[in-house]
Amino acid sequence: MKAIVQTEEKNTASLELQDVPVPTLKPGEVLVEVKAAGVNRADLLQTQGNYPVPPGASEILGLECAGIIADPGDTGRSKGEEVACLLTGGGYAEFVAVPEGQLMPIPEGFSFVEAASIVEVACTVWSNIGMLAGLKEGQTFLVHGGAGGIGTFAVQMGKAMGATVAVTTGSPEKLQTCQQLGADILINYREEDFAEVLKNRADVILDIIGAKYLGQNVKALAKDGHMVTIGLQGGVKGELNLGLLLAKRGTISATALRGRDDADKARIVAATVEAIWPMLADGRITPHIDHTLPLADAAKALKALEDGTVTGKLVLEV
């Protein structure tokens, strides 16, 4: 099969389409013929040497895809079944082996491209904001990077759940996108301090920045607020005012999806389909795709992500 292979360590530009063996199925896996694969910042980090592949996982990039079951293996699934897939790796290829528990139905009315754009963000946002932080109607929900792949989904989900949604992003154009998706409080981080705008008001914070925003996030937290860090774009070490966190009875969680075991991922996938797929079916949440590229242009896709020129998601068509 054809797949994207990195030919030089820590060099994102060295991605090439090459011939590699088709994956061998393990018990409980199906072989999926990939039609489209979502592009994520984690893929970029992996090419830079900053996101190691979990033991036993495919070295090929790609954490989400959509396609057709080519071989159901021992699972009892049907050949030809159309599926969306949460992956530990391997999506940037013509075929990928997927544990059955990480298969999802294609959302009603969605194309393969649209389905591939939604899997990782849906599982990430729902597992952290719905399942862990327990966002409720009437609460204030702060989304950092509101115009990104995670952000555009989180804004819509927050609105669908009845929250007041605040966003940070770095340009008027991206703020306009967030507003169109339903954001209520628009903060350009280049011009305003979000911690002052939202002081003591944010019940739930979805943080992709990490250390750089730690102090400001705690300042923005409301009483009994919950901050969930899922990214470290602003560094890994910060100073935490425990006195202020204690006074607010605040909670800070830090999570990652990729390294979880198959059973945990299956639990998240099932919960995400139950909670989120109805919102996709009735249009409360829609995919926001910046553009698509052919699989061979994976390096170009990751460069666009690195340059910050992408609003929403990029998808590779196979």
pTM of the model: 0.97
226: nearest Cα among 238, 216, 236, 217 = 217
CATH number of 124-254: 3.40.50.720
Topology of domain 2-121+258-317, CATH? Quinone Oxidoreductase; Chain A, domain 1 (3.90.180)
Report whether 4 contacts 300 (CB < 8 A): no
Q: Which pLDDT score, from 0 to 100, does residue 151 have?
A: 97
List, run by run, the mean pLDDT of 10-residue segments along the chain (318 residues).
97 97 98 98 96 94 98 98 98 98 97 98 98 98 97 98 98 97 98 98 98 98 98 95 98 96 98 98 97 98 95 97
Let me know if the fold of 2-121+258-317 is the same as that of 124-254. Answer: no
Q: Decide the pairing of beta strands 185-188 and 64-71.
A: unpaired
d(Cα 111, Cα 287) in Å, to the nearest integer?
Answer: 10
Q: Which pLDDT score, from 0 to 100, does residue 84 have?
A: 98
Q: Which pLDDT score, from 0 to 100, does residue 85 have?
A: 98
How is the chain split into domains, by residue range?
Answer: 2-121+258-317, 124-254
Q: Which pLDDT score, from 0 to 100, does residue 38 have?
A: 98
Report in angstroms the alpha-carbon separations of 122 from 4, 58, 76, 187, 203.
25, 22, 26, 24, 20
Beta-bridge mates of residue 228: 206, 253
